[in-house]
C-alpha cells in the first residue's frame, strides 16, 4: 500500500499509513490510526487519540489537553518514544495516558509543570514517579488499573489535589501522610488488598466520596466519623463484622453501601444520619431488623436482601419516605399491618422468603407500582390488592397459589403479571387474560 504524504495542510482527519509535514490539525473527536508519522505538526484544541499503533511524533506541538490510548503493538508507549512526545508538552494542563507497557512512568513527566489533570491508567505501573509530587497545580490524579503495591509518603505534598483514583491496584498499606490532602474531595481505593485504614484518614475533612470496596478490611477506624462532609461511603465486599459507633457522626452522609460483608447488625448511633437517603446492606448476616433504621426519616432506598431476617417489627412503618425496599432472600414469615404507613413506597421485593399471606393493609400503599412475591408460600391474595390503582408489575411465580381475587380486572394499570409455577388452573388463567387484556400474563400455559 502506498504511503500518503501531506505537507503544510490544514486537516480535520488523520489517515492510516501516512506522513505529515508541517500540518495543522483541528480534530474534534477521538480517532484511531496506525503506522503514521508526524513532523513539525500542530494539533489544536483538545486532542484524543485511541489505540494508536506504530506512530511517530517529531517536534510537534499539542493543545493544553491530550488524551492518548495505545494499542498492543504501539511503539509510542515504549519509554523512549513516549518521552519524545511528553517533552513537547510543556504547556499541557491535562494529560491522559492509557494502556502503557511500562512499569515506571517516563522521566519526562517531570517537565509537566502546569498540569492540573494527569491520568495514567490500564498500564503496568508498579511505582509512582516522585516527580509527580512536585506538580504544584495538580488537582486530579488517576492511577487506576495498574500494579501499584505501595503509595509513597510524598503523596501528601499534593496540597491542591481534589480527586485521587487508586482503585484496581495491589495496595496493601496507605501512608498516614494522606491526611495532608486537605482539599481532597474524592478518593477511590476499591479493588486493592488493604487490610486496614490508617486512622489519619479521618482528618480528610473535605472528603465527600470514599470508595473502599473489594478489599480485605476487618474493621474501620473510629476516626472515620470525623469526615463530617462525607456524602458517599462505599465499603462493600470486605470482611467487616461490625461498624464503629462514630459512623453515626457522618451527619452529611447521603448514600452508604455496606454489601457483601459479615455484619450481624448496625450501630444504634446510625440513627443520627438524618441526611441518609440510600442504605445498602445486602448479603450480610443480619437476623434482627436494625433499630437505628427506624429513625432515618429521609431514607428512600433500603436494601436488606440476602440476610437472615425472620420478621419485620411494627416500627418499620415509620419509614415514611421509603420508596424502594429490597427484602428478597431472607426468612420472613409475615408482614406487619403497619406496612400501610409506607405511603411513599413504589417498589418492594419480597421474593424468596417464607410468606404464606399478605396483610390486607398493603392496599393502602397507594403509590406501589411493583410488587415481587415470587418463591414464597402464598396460596391466596387479599381482595384489597385490587384497590392498588398504581400497580404495574406483580410477580407471583413459584407460589402454591390456588386462586386470585375475582376483581383483578380493577387493576387497570397492571401491565405485567407472572403466575408461572402456581396451582392456578388453565380456566383461571384464561379468565385472568380476559379480565386484563392489556397485561402481559406469564404462565405455564401458552
Residue 110, pLDDT score = 77
Cβ contact 63:57 at 8 Å: no
Residue with cell 386462586: 403
Helices and strands in the chain, H and E counts = 2, 24
Cβ-count burial 121-140 (b if 16+ within 10 Å, e if not):
bbbebeebbebbbebeebbb
pLDDT (tens digit per residue) in 347-397:
999 999 999 999 999 999 999 999 999 999 999 999 999 999 999 999 999
Over residues 81-96, the mean pLDDT reads 74
Chain-wide mean pLDDT for the chain? 91
Write the CA distances from 113 to 77, 86, 131, 269, 346, integer angstroms. 21, 12, 10, 47, 53
Residue 4, pLDDT score = 82
Indicate the domain borders of the chain: 309-446
Contacts of 377 (CB under 8 A, 6+ apart): 354, 355, 356, 399, 400
pLDDT (tens digit per residue) in 300-339:
999 999 999 999 998 888 999 999 999 999 999 999 999 9
Rounded-to-integer distance, Cα 6 and Cα 56, Å = 15
Rounded-to-integer distance, Cα 154 and Cα 410, Å = 68
pLDDT higher than threshold 90 for residue 72: no
Residue 81, pLDDT score = 65
Cβ contact 309:330 at 8 Å: yes
Residue 214, pLDDT score = 99
Q: 108: helix, coil or strand?
A: helix
pLDDT (tens digit per residue) in 106-116:
777 878 888 89
pLDDT (tens digit per residue) in 389-438:
999 999 999 999 999 999 999 999 999 999 999 999 999 999 999 999 99
Q: What is the pTM of this model?
A: 0.89
pLDDT higher than threshold 80 for residue 191: yes
pLDDT (tens digit per residue) in 267-290:
999 999 999 999 999 999 999 999
Residue 387, pLDDT score = 95
309-446 topology per CATH: 3.80.10
Angle, alpha carbons 208-319-393 (nearest 5°): 100
- Among 90-94, 122-126, 385-389, where is mean pLDDT lowest? 90-94
* Run of H or E residues at 433: helix 426-435
Rounded-to-integer distance, Cα 21 and Cα 12, Å = 15
Find, among 246, 300, 252, the residue nearest to 269 by Cα: 246
Q: Which residue has the higher pLDDT, 9 or 99?
A: 9
Amino acid at each position: 500500500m502506498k504511503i500518503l504524504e501531506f505537507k503544510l495542510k490544514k486537516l480535520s482527519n488523520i489517515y492510516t499509513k501516512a506522513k505529515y509535514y508541517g500540518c495543522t490539525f483541528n480534530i474534534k473527536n477521538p480517532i484511531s490510526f496506525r503506522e503514521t508519522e508526524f513532523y513539525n505538526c500542530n494539533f489544536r484544541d483538545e486532542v484524543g487519540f485511541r489505540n494508536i499503533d506504530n506512530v511517530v511524533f517529531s517536534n510537534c506541538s499539542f493543545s493544553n489537553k491530550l488524551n492518548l490510548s495505545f494499542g498492543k503493538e504501539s511503539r509510542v508507549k515504549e519509554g523512549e518514544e513516549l518521552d519524545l512526545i511528553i517533552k513537547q508538552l510543556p504547556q499541557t494542563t491535562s494529560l491522559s495516558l492509557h494502556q502503557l507497557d511500562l512499569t515506571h512512568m517516563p522521566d519526562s513527566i517531570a517537565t509537566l509543570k502546569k498540569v492540573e489533570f494527569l491520568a495514567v491508567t490500564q498500564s503496568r505501573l508498579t511505582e509512582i514517579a516522585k516527580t509527580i509530587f512536585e506538580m504544584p497545580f495538580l488537582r486530579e490524579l488517576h492511577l487506576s488499573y495498574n500494579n501499584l503495591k505501595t503509595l509513597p509518603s510524598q503523596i501528601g505534598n499534593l496540597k491542591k489535589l481534589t480527586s485521587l483514583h487508586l482503585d484496581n491496584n495491589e495496595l496493601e498499606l496507605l501512608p498516614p501522610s494522606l491526611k495532608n490532602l486537605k482539599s481532597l474531595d474524592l478518593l477511590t481505593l476499591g479493588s486493592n488488598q488493604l487490610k486496614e485504614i490508617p486512622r489519619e484518614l479521618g482528618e480528610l475533612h473535605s472528603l465527600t466520596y470514599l470508595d473502599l470496596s473489594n478489599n480485605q478490611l476487618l474493621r474501620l477506624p473510629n476516626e472515620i466519623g470525623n469526615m463530617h462532609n462525607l456524602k458517599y461511603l462505599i465499603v462493600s465486599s470486605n470482611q467487616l463484622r461490625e461498624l464503629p459507633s462514630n459512623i453515626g457522626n457522618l451527619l452529611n452522609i447521603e448514600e452508604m453501601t455496606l454489601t457483601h460483608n459479615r455484619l450481624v447488625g448496625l450501630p444504634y448511633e446510625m440513627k443520627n444520619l438524618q441526611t441518609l437517603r440510600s442504605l445498602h446492606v445486602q448479603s450480610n448476616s443480619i437476623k434482627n431488623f436494625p433499630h437505628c433504621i427506624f429513625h432515618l426519616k429521609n431514607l428512600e432506598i433500603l436494601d436488606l436482601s440476602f440476610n437472615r431476617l425472620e420478621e419485620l417489627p411494627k416500627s418499620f412503618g415509620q419509614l415514611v419516605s421509603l420508596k424502594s425496599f429490597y427484602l428478597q432472600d431472607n426468612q420472613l414469615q409475615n408482614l406487619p399491618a403497619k406496612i400501610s404507613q409506607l405511603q411513599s413506597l413504589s417498589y418492594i421485593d419480597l421474593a424468596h422468603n417464607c410468606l404464606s399471606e399478605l396483610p390486607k393493609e398493603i392496599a393502602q400503599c397507594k403509590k406501589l407500582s411493583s410488587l415481587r412475591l415470587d418463591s414464597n408460600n402464598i396460596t391466596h391474595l387479599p381482595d384489597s390488592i385490587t384497590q392498588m390503582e398504581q400497580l404495574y408489575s406483580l410477580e407471583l411465580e413459584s407460589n402454591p397459589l390456588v386462586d386470585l381475587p375475582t376483581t383483578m380486572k380493577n387493576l387497570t394499570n397492571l401491565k405485567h403479571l407472572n403466575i408461572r409455577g402456581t396451582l392456578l388452573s388453565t380456566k383461571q388463567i384464561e379468565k385472568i387474560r380476559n379480565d386484563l387484556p392489556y397485561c402481559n400474563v406469564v404462565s405455564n400455559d401458552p
